[in-house]
Amino acid sequence: MNDPRVYRTMHFKPPISLERTLEWFHNRGTNRLDFVTEEDGELLAMVGATNIDPIIKKGESYTIVNPDLKGRGIGTKALFLKSVYCFEIERVNKIWAYVDGDNTASIRMAERIGYRVEGILRQEVARENGLIDRYYLGCLENDLKKDSFKYGIEGQAILLYD
């Protein structure tokens, strides 16, 4: 999380310490879901849904992929599995996310599994070179392309297309 490739698009300020992270974790509240995926002790991604409204059943999605592993489909799989969990287990009605307009890889990743661009907030975020747009993406359970993945013997999700 202290890597500029991560915090540049997540809009938080480094440094992130283990002590502050543990403090945040113990005080984070109950209206959120947080997941970590790892393989052989290596962090692959962190995903979750925050600010889950108990009446509307809508939550804000986040996906953070290990920056050394980007471009391998890990974020797509993690976002898909988190979305399935939110819809089928937590009975969330809608998952949404803000994505910086210049983060085209994340926009394509979300659209690939059924998220839709519902709006563009023009010149919403400051960057070193000026203001950039921010996209509002949303996904309802019926939007999610549940046939995008098949499951292997060990339960690992395998993307069916590139």
Evaluate the CA torsion angle 60, 49, 95, 75 in order and state its sign.
Answer: positive
Indicate the residue type of 50. T
pLDDT tens by residue, 20-38: 777 777 777 788 898 888 8
Check residue 28 and give its pLDDT.
Answer: 76
pTM: 0.81
Check residue 153 and give its pLDDT.
Answer: 45
Going from N- to C-terminal start, the domains of the chain cover 4-152
Check residue 147 and give its pLDDT.
Answer: 82
First to last CA, the chain: 27
CA distance 113 to 53: 23
Which residue ranges in the chain fall short of pLDDT 70? 1-2, 4-14, 150-162
Check residue 160 and give its pLDDT.
Answer: 42
CA distance 66 to 46: 8
Sorted by sequence, the CB contacts under 8 Å of residue 59 that are 6+ apart come out as 31, 32, 33, 49, 50, 51, 52, 53, 86, 92, 94, 95, 96
Check residue 148 and give its pLDDT.
Answer: 74
Looking at CATH, the fold of the domain delimited by 4-152 is given as Aminopeptidase (3.40.630)
